[in-house]
């Protein structure tokens, strides 16, 4: 089985978010896929099987399968086009646990992904004080979707400097905690980070699915529909997002780091 490692949401190797992409030519069990993901020990390992008109796609963290992943989808589409598994002029439809996802290759080499938008709900009952102490900054608003906690912070610089304890973070939500803040910098509209120790990811370098939640949120707050955004992890990454009805378009770059083969 061919296996590629790709850095997503970046043009430079050793930055952005690394993902493993496995080109599956026979059915693998969930145990086999989870074992490969644990062995790769990246935030996500993607398993894709190519058919005539669509591709089946699944994603695994080192600890569990997830329903939606942005950077590993970007990495998978990039490899399918670059390595000749799919015609570069054709969009790719992926069949996933989150329904059909669509990707297209842009003329400048970037990849655009058409994902469902998710609208978070306010949580007025959350006690902000312990989390403010942990993050070192004030929280303006608390939001939730199933299994995820979203915190809107007042100060982007404090957001960037935050070093929360993974054990504490793991107690706040089944999957992870997102923090985001509006930026006054011209290069980026909002800045975010994502911590998911319960999924085996203390901090995710760049998180596509998070922006399917934050894009509609910030659109409602600002009235804008298009954003340039940054994820302020140690590796860092950036993307463009656009809200179009009940869908979010995520656009970013990718670069191949290496390829190999594994026997299963």
**DSSP SS3 for 254:** strand
**DSSP SS3 for 26:** coil
Report strand pairing: 55-60 vs 44-50.
antiparallel
Whole-number Å distance between alpha carbons of 177 and 73 = 21
**DSSP SS3 for 232:** coil
Sheet strands (E) in 26-68: 44-50, 55-60, 65-66
Tokens of 206: 């760049």
Whole-number Å distance between alpha carbons of 120 and 150 = 8
The full DSSP string for 138-176 is -EEEEEEETTEEEEEES-HHHHHH----HHHHHTT-SSE
Instruction: Give the angle subtended at the CA of 204 by the CAs of 64 and 240, to the nearest 5°.
Output: 115
Helix (H) / strand (E) containing 208: none
Return the closest-CA partner of residue 232 out of 16, 5, 7: 16
Tokens of 147: 């299994």
> Catalytic amino acids?
44
């Amino acid at each position: 089985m061919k296996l590629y490692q790709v850095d997503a949401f970046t043009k430079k190797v050793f930055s952005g978010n690394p993902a493993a992409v496995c080109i599956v030519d026979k059915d693998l069990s969930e145990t086999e896929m989870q074992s490969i993901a644990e062995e790769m020990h990246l935030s996500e390992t993607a398993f894709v099987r190519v058919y005539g008109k669509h591709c089946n796609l699944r994603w695994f963290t080192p600890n569990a399968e997830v329903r939606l992943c942005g950077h590993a989808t970007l990495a998978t589409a990039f490899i399918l086009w670059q390595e000749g598994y799919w015609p570069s002029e054709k969009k790719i439809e992926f069949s996933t646990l989150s329904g059909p996802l669509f990707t297209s290759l842009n003329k400048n080499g970037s990849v655009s992904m058409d994902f469902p938008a998710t609208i978070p709900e306010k949580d007025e009952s959350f006690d902000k004080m312990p989390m403010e102490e942990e993050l070192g900054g004030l929280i303006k608003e608390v939001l939730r979707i199933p299994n995820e906690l979203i915190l809107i912070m007042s100060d982007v610089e404090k957001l960037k400097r935050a070093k929360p304890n993974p054990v504490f973070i793991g107690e706040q939500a089944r999957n992870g905690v997102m923090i985001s803040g509006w930026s006054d910098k011209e290069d980026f509209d909002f800045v975010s980070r994502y911590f998911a120790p319960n999924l085996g990811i203390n901090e995710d370098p760049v998180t596509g699915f998070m922006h399917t939640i934050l894009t509609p949120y910030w659109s409602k707050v600002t009235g804008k529909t298009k954003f340039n955004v940054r994820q302020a992890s140690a590796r860092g990454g950036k993307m463009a997002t656009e809200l179009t009805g009940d869908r979010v378009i995520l656009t970013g770059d990718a670069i191949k780091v290496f390829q190999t083969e594994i026997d299963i």
